[in-house]
Amino acid sequence: MKNIRLTLSLIVTFAALALLPQSANAQAEEDSITQRILQRISAVDELKIKAFAGENNKGLLEQRAMLAPAQTKLMNDENADRKALYAILAKRLGLSVSVVGQVRAESIRKKSAPKVWIQEPSGKWIQK
């Protein structure tokens, strides 16, 4: 029940974000990060579907098999952008980066395709 309340309150808070003013620089940085994440989505999905990487309980990709250098770069770039975005959201919401990542991880777990490796909040890895 506590998790449900936390999740609902964070959803409401995230929805309210659109109403908060931001500096032009902060908005441009957030938009840039979001654009890079969107540009990589197909390649990231391929890593996950092929079980090379999974979604951990911190909202980040985690290596699950040997990666080629380009795949490692892709995963590292994705994680760097996710961390930067989580930091922006954490600051805006007055939360810790880890809480933002955990909430994002929950959302990712729910939306993940079948056979994708996901890490439960307990730390246990499963294939969805």
Contact between residue 35 and residue 50 where contact means Cβ atoms under 8 Å apart: no
- Chain segment 39-55, per-residue pLDDT in tens: 999 999 999 999 999 99
The pLDDT of 27-50, averaged and rounded, is: 96
Contact between residue 24 and residue 79 where contact means Cβ atoms under 8 Å apart: no
Q: What is the per-residue pLDDT for 23?
A: 73
Radius of gyration of the chain (CA): 15
Give CA–CA dist 128/122, Å, rounded. Answer: 15
Give CA–CA dist 78/84, Å, rounded. Answer: 10
- Chain segment 108-126, per-residue pLDDT in tens: 999 999 999 999 999 999 9
Which string of b and e fits 69-103 if b means at least 16 CB within 10 Å? eebeebbebbbebbbbbbebbbebbebebeebbbb
